[in-house]
Amino acid sequence: MEKPEPDEPKRMSLLQVVQSVLAAFFGVQSNRNRERDFKQGSAKTFIIAGLVGAVLFIAVVAMVVKVVLGMATG
């Protein structure tokens, strides 16, 4: 396995991307992590992760509403 060149920025792991996206959703991203995201992250990766996160959030909210309305009527 080849080591990255010293000038080449280190790539972010999937866990780091997910943590950054969740922090952005809640608005609690630290300045250090935000700078890391801009240096090491790919815009495409963050856009995809953000869209997936938004779809999951909407799906969870829709399921909770469905369950609550089902209990109220039933």
1 inside domain: no
Q: How far is CA 39 from CA 42, 59, 60, in A?
A: 9, 32, 32
Q: Find the DSSP H helices in 1-74.
A: 14-26, 31-40, 43-73
Predicted structure pTM score:
0.75
Vertex 34 angle, CA 43 and 44, to 5°: 10
42 inside domain: yes
5 inside domain: no
30 inside domain: yes
Q: In which band, very low, low, confident or very high, does the pLDDT at 53 lie, cut at 50, 70 and 90?
A: very high
pLDDT of residue 11: 87
Residue 37, token pair as written in the block: 């995201």
pLDDT of residue 59: 98
48 inside domain: yes
Express each pLDDT in 16-42 by its tens digit: 999 999 999 999 999 999 999 999 999
9 inside domain: no
**Boundaries of domain holding 29:** 14-73
7 inside domain: no
Residue 50, token pair as written in the block: 């953000």
Q: How many domains does the chain have?
A: 1
